Amino acid sequence: MTYIPHSPKERDAMLATIGVKSLEDLFKDIPAKHRFPNLDLPPALTEMEAAAELAELAESNENVHGDLISFLGAGAYNHYIPAVINHIISRGEFYTAYTPYQPEISQGTLQAAFEYQSLISALTGMDVSNASHYDGATAAAEAVNMAYAQFRGKRKKVVISPTVHPQYRAVIRTYTQGMSVEVAGDNAEANLESGPEALASLVDENTMLVIVQYPDFFGRVYDYAALIESAHSKGALVCVVANPTALGLFKTPGAMGADIVVGEGQPLGIPMWFGGPWLGFFTTKKAFVHKMAGRLVGETVDSRGQRAYVLTLTSREQHIKRERATSNICTNQGLLALASAVYMSVLGKNGMKQVAELCYHKAHYAAEQLSKIEGYGMCFPEPFFHEFVLCCPKPASEVNAHLLEHGILGGYDLGQDYPALKNHLLIAVTEMNSREDIDTLVDALSEVDHE
């Protein structure tokens, strides 16, 4: 049975329209031998056999739900995901990735997006949130696009902290190639011990945007208010890449004066999977809303005086503004935005704070215990949230190999991105790590030392 809906007559009409005699002619530019290559495939399996084979392949994965104890973070965090999230997002009314293209008939979808925006705005302390981007890295790159549009291309420099996630910095460079944008501040010689003040000296009249991370890639928590004030005095905007879990506990970037706050929404009820699909959140001040990319849902009143939801300020978007739009990247993270909205509403303000406190205290217990092991120590003295840099007596890769033998997924090997930190592990601790887990890690590392 074929599912091709066109009749031979319709096909002939289409071919005649474009001036091609036969279907064969349409593909004549592709050499005949490549058109139907002989694929060397094993005999077909039955569904039952295929399922068994795939299950066997999947067995070789080691997961963090029983197989391994994980202390790996670096942008992806192992948090508890309440069961209700999957139940709600699996409902037929919601089960689509897209914000619909004829949106107003889908009031439920729009209301969910509106509530997501409201929750994210409250969490970041900002005026307005869009309906999401792909992930934290692309949201950070969109902040550069927005700043570029805000200054109409007249300012060309982005100052970025070396302790913004290395992959986010790589994505920003990918996005801005060909835009004649200079990215400064995060070169290999950058001082990783100096605080945010060091960045201020790089901000000049040509700087459109300063980007910092909160907590930074090493887990450190800084108040960026002074840096933001200093950047504003040069007319530059400031973007804070924030961890949403940390925002349940700490001062919001909005309260520090940030112009744009972006981040990775994965910690808000989305599995780590294999690095995605996740969720990028993007918020800004009301003054910049016309330069913000992405969809935006607003609340209004319909012709009968009832509360209703609409896509708002759509004329700034790509389908109307075309090549003059701030960005031509749309998003299909609607379902994941819904998951995070359910997460935030189920936990509530107090629940978000509790999760953050659990992470904070467990991470500090781990740091204290690990520092007692001979040869190990805390790399930085600054306050931290749920991640910290541990100095090791040998290369991090060797320490991790040893830990894996003990059923522990160790920290992130910082030598991959920071050559000076070859013997350093970035350790993440969340509410999912019990005291026993942490003690197991400490015991395993104490053993390394005696080898």
**Of the two residues 225 and 313, which places its CB atom closer to another protein in the complex?**
313
**Of the two residues 292 and 392, which places its CB atom closer to another protein in the complex?**
292
Site string for another protein, 243-282 (x = CB under 8 A): ----------------------------------------
Site string for another protein, 211-250 (x = CB under 8 A): ----------------------------------------
Produce one character per residue of 101-117: b if its CB has 16 or more CB atoms within 10 Å, e if not: eebeebbebbebbbbbb
199 contacts 161 by C-beta, under 8 angstroms: yes
**Of the two residues 65 and 324, which places its CB atom closer to another protein in the complex?**
324
90 contacts 339 by C-beta, under 8 angstroms: no
What is the chain's alpha carbon radius of gyration, rounded to the nearest angstrom?
25
**Of the two residues 33 and 322, which places its CB atom closer to another protein in the complex?**
322
344 contacts 352 by C-beta, under 8 angstroms: yes
Least distance to another protein, CB of residue 308, Å: 15
CA 323, 329, 334, 338 dihedral sign is negative
Least distance to another protein, CB of residue 156, Å: 17
For the chain, how many residues are written? Answer: 451
Least distance to another protein, CB of residue 326, Å: 11
**Of the two residues 100 and 153, which places its CB atom closer to another protein in the complex?**
153
Say how far apart CA 296 and CA 312 lie, in whole Å.
6
Residue selected from 290, 307, 349, 361 as contacting another protein according to rule CB under 8 A: 290
Least distance to another protein, CB of residue 316, Å: 6
**Of the two residues 290 and 349, which places its CB atom closer to another protein in the complex?**
290
Angle at which helices 334-371 and 435-450 pack, to 10 degrees? 50
Q: Residue 9, SS3?
A: helix
Least distance to another protein, CB of residue 29, Å: 39
Least distance to another protein, CB of residue 204, Å: 20
**Of the two residues 151 and 365, which places its CB atom closer to another protein in the complex?**
151
Q: Applying CB under 8 A, what is the total number of residues that bind another protein?
A: 9
199 contacts 227 by C-beta, under 8 angstroms: yes
Least distance to another protein, CB of residue 312, Å: 9
Q: Which of residues 323-362 bind another protein (CB under 8 A)?
A: 324
Least distance to another protein, CB of residue 315, Å: 4
Least distance to another protein, CB of residue 260, Å: 18
Least distance to another protein, CB of residue 145, Å: 16
Helix, strand and coil in the chain, % to nearest 5: 45, 15, 45
Angle at which helices 435-450 and 396-405 pack, to 10 degrees? 120
Helices (H), 234-330: 253-256, 318-321
203 contacts 210 by C-beta, under 8 angstroms: yes
**Of the two residues 149 and 262, which places its CB atom closer to another protein in the complex?**
149
**Of the two residues 14 and 320, which places its CB atom closer to another protein in the complex?**
320
Say how far apart CA 218 and CA 216 lie, in whole Å.
5
Say how far apart CA 74 and CA 352 lie, in whole Å.
20
Alpha-carbon distance values, 328 to 271, 294, 318 (Å): 28, 9, 6
Residue selected from 33, 34, 65, 152 as contacting another protein according to rule CB under 8 A: 152
Q: Is 153 in the site for another protein (CB under 8 A)?
A: no
Helices (H), 36-89: 47-59, 83-89
Provide the token pair at 20.
């091609």
**Of the two residues 288 and 384, which places its CB atom closer to another protein in the complex?**
288
Least distance to another protein, CB of residue 321, Å: 4
Provide the token pair at 264.
């990775």
DSSP secondary structure letter of residue 100: P
**Of the two residues 314 and 345, which places its CB atom closer to another protein in the complex?**
314
Phi/psi of residue 425, nearest 5 degrees: -110, 140
Say how far apart CA 433 and CA 444 lie, in whole Å.
15
**Side-chain half-sphere of 95: how many Cα atoms within 13 Å?**
6
**Of the two residues 290 and 361, which places its CB atom closer to another protein in the complex?**
290
Least distance to another protein, CB of residue 318, Å: 10
Q: Which of residues 291-330 bind another protein (CB under 8 A)?
A: 313-316, 320-321, 324
Q: DSSP for 284-299, please give it.
A: E-GGGGGG--S--EEE
Interface with another protein by CB under 8 A: which residues?
152, 290, 313-316, 320-321, 324
